[in-house]
Amino acid sequence: MTSDRGGAAAVGGPASGAEPAGTEPAAAELDVRPMAGHIGAEVTGVDLAGDLDGSVVAAIRAALLRWKVVFFRGQRLDHAGQVALARRFGEPVVLPRRGKASPPDVPEIETTADRLELGTRFGMAHDEWLRRRRHTLLRGWHCDHGARIDPPAATILRAETVPPYGGDTTWSNLAAAYAGLSAPVRAFVDGLRAEHRLGVGYQPRPGGDAYVRHLLDHQVASEHPLVRVHPETGERILFVNGYYVEQITGLSRPESAAVLEMLLEQATRPEYTVRFRWEPGSVAFWDNRATIHLAPGDTAHLDHPRIMHRVMIAGDVPVGVDGRPSIPITGTAPGRW
């Protein structure tokens, strides 16, 4: 397979002030290989734990903007290296609350270790929690922290331990999904806005439910444009997902439900997706403004751990086609986590 040398990922020589050739990896050494027709590319020829030349950072950014999610295998990143990598592309988010598996001395890292975090946290086994959160085929699709007024711009996820089978993650390209709509539907959704709310669609347990109490105590909601304009590429993004979007503003409940189902089916069509098989040392870097992803639901019954480390990069307030920004509803403010 050949590199995508004709696309946006082909960035020129070293940045001004870079070290002499041979001391740092150069952009010319990168190989960007698309993995699917609309989304996803594997990048080789770079050690993410090393000192990255400015042109390498620019090449990775260009590949990210072009392919929406880029993958690196066999990396030797530790927590500090992952945070340092994120800083080359923006400001890492520091979460006020993290799961108990996260490293206490590295506040930018959030560790996802399913069996450690969710087995007893809300009084449910992990598989029951997943069933209640993803009770339809489309519910699990989400962008990271989409109910915030300023969702993260990007996410870097590193695999430490993965099961020998299962545990894949899938991403979808929301710019391609928007472009694939018919012209009349694009014109219709361009002016719409929707409420994004934490925990939408979760099915409570009969009687008391600790997760419902958690949602009520930490509620977050924003009104976002249904089509946002990407701040770097200018692309129109179909800003929908199955986990946060509750209601299209101005539509009745039945109308909103029908339109959202149609748009979610469009957003998750197989031709707009890529699926990634994790290995220890794998890194996925995705544009959270232009994608939604589906975490695996096929590992709860497996007797194998899956430990991942996430760093998110701070984002901006989405802006619609009409130039209007998103509006905070509750529990969120720009730059305040």
In which element (H, E) is residue 193 found?
strand 193-197
168 is catalytic: no
- Token couple for 122: 């809300």
Catalytic-labelled residue, pool 134, 145, 197, 293: 293
Catalytic-labelled residue, pool 38, 66, 196, 310: 310
CB atoms under 10 Å from CB of 93, counted, come to: 24
310 is catalytic: yes
329: left (phi over 0), alpha (psi -120 to 50) or beta: alpha
38 is catalytic: no
Alpha helices in 30-163 (DSSP H): 54-67, 79-87, 114-117, 126-133
φ, ψ at 222 (rounded to 5°): -145, 155
- Token couple for 56: 């390498």
Q: Rounded to whole angstroms, how far apart are CA atoms 70 and 60?
A: 8
In which element (H, E) is residue 245 found?
strand 245-248
Label the pairing between strands 69-72 and 41-44: parallel
Catalytic-labelled residue, pool 53, 114, 144, 150: 144
Catalytic-labelled residue, pool 142, 236, 289, 306: 142
Which residues, in sequence order, are CB contacts of 40 under 8 Å at separation 6+?
A: 34, 67, 68, 69, 70, 71, 171, 274, 276
CB 304 within 8 A of CB 113: no
Which residue numbers are catalytic? 142, 144, 293, 310
